[in-house]
C-alpha cells in the first residue's frame, strides 16, 4: 500500500470536543502528512495534533508515505489537495522537491503549516513549527566531544540529504565540532533513513578507521542502524554514539548502552502549536511565522531523573 491512513491511538484519547470559540471552523478537516509512517516521532506529534484539533472542533486525517521520500510524499499531497481540507500540516521530506506540490495546495486555497521540516521557499506556509536543528546539531557535537574526552575520529550519519532537519543537524554539528582541536571529523554519510544502510556505513567506516571513537546519528533510524553496525563489530559502547529522538526504541537503546546520549525533541508540543497557528490563519488572525522548539540532551544518568522521563516521547 502506498498510504498509511488513520488516527493514532494516543493515551490522552482522540476525542473531546469543541471547547474552542471558533464556530466557523468547527467540523472542518485538517490533514496531517508526516515524513514517513510508523515513526514514533511523528506518531507522538499526531497525538498532539489530534488533541489540539479536538479542542477546536476540527477533525484530523493522516496520510503518510511508506518511506521518507519526496517522490512518495508528492502523490499523497496531491490526493489530500483533491479532498480540499481546510488546512494541511506537513513535514516536507525535501526542502526543494516539496515546493511545487505545496504551492499548488496553497493556490487551491488550502492553508499550510509546516511541522518538523521546512521548505527552501518562503511564502507557501503560513507558519512553521520545528526544533532548532542547527542548535540541536551543535548540542550533539558537544555531547559527543564530552563522551570521547575531546579526542579522536568522529562520523556523522545524515539521514536524508535535502531534508532540512538532516541538513541542519549535520551543519550544526560540523560548526561546533571544529572547536575541538583534538577531534578529527571524518565527514557525513547518508543512510537514506534506512537502518540497514546506517549499519553498513558503520562497518565500512570501521574497516577504514578501526580507531573510530564516536558517531552522531541524526535520527531514529540512523541511530538504530549505527547500533547494529557497532554491535556486529563488537564495538558497542567502545565507539560512543549520540543518537537523536526519544521514542521507545531510543530509550531502550540508551538503557542498554547502545547509545550514550540522545537529543530529544518535543514532537507533541510541535503538534499542538502547529494546530494553534493553523487555527489562527483559518480564523483570520495573524499566525506566528516561525516557532522554534528546544531539545534536551539526555544520558543514561538521566533515565532515573524527572528530566529523563519527561524527555521520552509519549503517545
Q: 221, 227, 260, 273: which one contacts ligand T6T (CB under 6 A)?
A: 221
Strands 212-217, 152-158: pairing kind: parallel
Q: Which string of x and - marks every residue 103-122 that binds ligand T6T (by CB under 6 A)?
A: -------------xx-----
Q: Which of residues 141-170 bind ligand T6T (CB under 6 A)?
A: 163, 165
State yes or no: residue 42 binds ligand T6T (CB under 6 A).
yes
State yes or no: residue 244 binds ligand T6T (CB under 6 A).
yes
Nearer to ligand T6T, 61 or 192 (CB): 192
- Answer positive or negative: Cα dihedral of 206, 249, 73, 132: negative
Tally DSSP H helices, then E strands, for the chain.
10, 13
For residue 11 the three cell numbers come to 493515551
Q: Which string of x and - marks every residue 174-213 that binds ligand T6T (by CB under 6 A)?
A: ----------------------------------------
DSSP 8-state secondary structure symbol assigned to residue 155:
E
In whole angstroms, how close is the CB of 208 to ligand T6T at the nearest point? 27
State yes or no: residue 295 binds ligand T6T (CB under 6 A).
no
Q: Each residue of 256-294: b (16+ CB within 10 Å) or e?
A: eebbbbbbbbbbbbbbbbbbbbbbbbbeeeebeeebebe
State yes or no: residue 35 binds ligand T6T (CB under 6 A).
yes
> Which H or E element spans position 103?
helix 99-107
State yes or no: residue 65 binds ligand T6T (CB under 6 A).
no
Q: Which of residues 71-90 bind ligand T6T (CB under 6 A)?
A: none
Measured distance CA(135)–CA(168) in Å, rounded = 9
Q: Which residues bind ligand T6T (CB under 6 A)?
A: 35, 39, 41-42, 116-117, 163, 165, 219-221, 244-245
Amino acid at each position: 500500500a502506498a498510504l498509511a491512513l488513520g488516527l493514532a491511538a494516543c493515551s490522552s484519547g482522540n476525542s473531546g470536543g469543541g471547547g474552542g470559540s471558533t464556530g466557523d471552523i468547527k467540523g472542518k478537516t485538517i490533514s496531517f502528512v508526516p515524513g514517513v509512517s510508523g515513526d514514533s516521532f511523528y506518531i507522538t506529534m499526531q497525538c498532539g495534533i489530534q488533541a489540539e484539533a479536538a479542542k477546536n472542533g476540527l477533525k484530523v486525517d493522516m496520510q503518510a508515505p511508506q518511506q521518507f521520500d519526496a517522490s512518495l510524499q508528492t502523490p499523497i499531497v496531491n490526493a489530500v489537495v483533491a479532498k480540499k481540507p481546510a488546512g494541511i500540516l506537513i513535514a516536507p521530506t525535501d526542502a526543494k522537491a516539496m515546493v511545487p506540490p505545496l504551492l499548488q495546495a496553497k493556490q487551491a486555497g488550502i492553508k499550510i503549516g509546516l511541522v518538523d521540516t521546512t521548505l527552501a521557499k518562503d511564502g507557501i506556509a503560513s507558519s512553521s513549527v520545528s526544533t532548532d536543528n542547527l542548535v540541536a546539531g551543535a548540542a550533539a557535537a558537544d555531547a559527543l566531544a564530552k563522551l570521547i574526552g575531546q579526542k579522536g575520529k568522529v562520523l556523522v550519519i545524515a539521514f536524508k540529504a535535502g531534508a532540512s532537519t538532516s541538513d541542519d543537524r549535520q551543519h550544526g554539528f560540523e560548526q561546533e565540532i571544529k572547536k575541538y582541536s583534538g577531534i578529527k571529523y571524518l565527514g557525513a554519510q547518508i543512510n537514506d533513513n534506512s537502518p540497514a544502510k546506517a549499519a553498513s556505513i558503520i562497518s565500512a567506516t570501521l574497516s577504514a578507521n578501526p580507531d573510530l571513537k564516536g558517531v552522531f546519528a541524526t535520527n531514529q533510524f540512523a541511530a538504530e542502524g549505527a547500533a547494529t553496525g557497532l554491535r556486529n563489530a563488537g564495538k558497542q559502547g567502545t565507539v560512543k554514539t549520540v543518537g537523536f529522538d526519544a521514542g521507545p526504541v531510543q530509550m531502550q537503546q540508551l538503557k542498554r548502552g547502545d547509545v550514550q546520549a540522545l537529543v530529544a525533541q518535543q514532537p507533541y508540543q510541535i503538534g499542538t502549536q502547529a494546530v494553534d497557528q493553523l487555527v489562527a490563519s483559518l480564523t483570520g488572525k495573524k499566525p506566528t511565522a516561525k516557532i522554534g522548539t528546544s531539545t534536551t540532551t539526555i544520558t543514561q544518568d538521566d533515565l532515573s531523573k524527572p528530566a529523563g522521563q519527561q524527555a521520552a516521547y509519549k503517545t
